Structure 1
């Protein structure tokens, strides 16, 4: 199954999903108890963040494909419904794969 198919497939029952970084093509596996931000940091990526609680908007990231599961209180309901941006410090995925503009 390719990444395009996974951006349309619901998230795994165990809460795992993958994040593909559009600029490098790198794919990171995100566990149910790990944030996207933490996975990026663990993989050596220096991404901006501040509060790590979805309040400040510092880690706002564009979504290329997939459907975020918004856990933040920064984006408006309309912005969340558009699914074009997400806060990677706290939000997760509703689909098996997200492609981010990173």
Structure 2
């Protein structure tokens, strides 16, 4: 299976998934008890954030491929359905990999 196929299959049974940072090519693993934001910060990535609860929209990040699992209260249902962005502070992935515009 090639790497792009991971954006089409469901997340792992343990709740973990990968994020691929499109600009650097770096791949990071997000476990079930971590936020995407925490993983990005631990990897030394500067990502704007404020509330960390999915309310303010500060950490809005564009999704290139993959299917976000929206846990925020910022995006409208229509925006969530488009699946082209997510709040990295609280949202997760429905697919084994999300490719982010970072």
TM range (shorter): over 0.9
Question: 1:67 aligned to 2:64?
Answer: no
Structure 1: give runs of 5+ residues left out of the alignment: none
Please give the per-residue CA displacement for 1:11-46, whole angstroms capped at 9, x wherever unaligned. Answer: 111100000000000000000000000000000001
How many equivalent residue pairs? 102
Match of 1:91? 91
Match of 2:33? 33
Match of 2:8? 8
Q: Equivalents in 2 of 1:68, 1:3: separation in Å?
A: 17
Normalised to the residue count of structure 1, the TM-score between the two structures is: 0.99
Match of 2:17? 17
Please give the per-residue CA displacement for 1:33-72, whole angstroms capped at 9, x wherever unaligned. Answer: 0000000000000110000000000000000000000000
User: Moved runs in structure 1, 4+ residues, more than 2 A?
Assistant: none
Structure 2: give runs of 5+ residues left out of the alignment: none
Normalised to the residue count of structure 2, the TM-score between the two structures is: 0.99
